[in-house]
């Protein structure tokens, strides 16, 4: 999959351009299901829906982008996530669902660059 650019932000003016390395972007679908079993042993699975789950590993992020991404996570904002590829745009509604701060490590040997991982979940 050839990806041109990613944008994550509150709107088209307050956003961060994300540029992961090849292989550092993973998009999957997760299903919302429940399983039941009757007293006679018959089982059923009920599917209620599905949502996107996106994991992006980031390296060499600037302090400005680190602050913005961590602010989006800390505020619990619902965010549009744009993927522009080959002239086609795909927009998903997501939230950052990392259990801890998404961008939290220095990018060695730099003192002003950061590494981290963003986990996005559609809603």
pLDDT digits (tens, 9 = 90+) for 86-107: 778 788 889 999 999 999 898 8
Does the structure show a pLDDT above 80 at 38? yes
What residues contact residue 15 under an 8 Å CB cut-off, 6+ apart? 7, 8, 9, 82
**What integer pLDDT is reported at residue 1 of this predicted model?**
41
Does the structure show a pLDDT above 90 at 41? no
Instruction: Round to whole Å and give the CA distance between 5 and 30.
Output: 24
Instruction: Round to whole Å and give the CA distance between 119 and 102.
Output: 8
| Residue 57 neighbours by CB distance under 10 Å | 14
Tens-digit pLDDT profile for residues 63-90: 999 999 999 999 988 999 888 877 787 8
Percent pLDDT > 90 in the chain is: 30
């Amino acid at each position: 999959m050839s990806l041109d650019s990613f944008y994550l932000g509150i709107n088209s003016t307050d956003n961060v351009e994300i540029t992961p390395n090849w292989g550092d972007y993973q998009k999957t679908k997760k299903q919302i299901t429940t399983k039941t079993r009757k007293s006679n042993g018959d089982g059923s699975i009920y599917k209620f829906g599905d949502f996107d789950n996106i994991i992006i590993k980031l390296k060499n992020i600037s302090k400005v982008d680190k602050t913005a991404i961590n602010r989006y996570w800390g505020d619990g904002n619902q965010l549009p996530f744009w993927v522009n590829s080959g002239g086609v745009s795909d927009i998903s509604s997501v939230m950052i669902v990392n259990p801890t701060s998404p961008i939290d490590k220095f990018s060695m040997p730099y003192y002003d660059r950061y590494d981290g991982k963003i986990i996005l979940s559609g809603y």
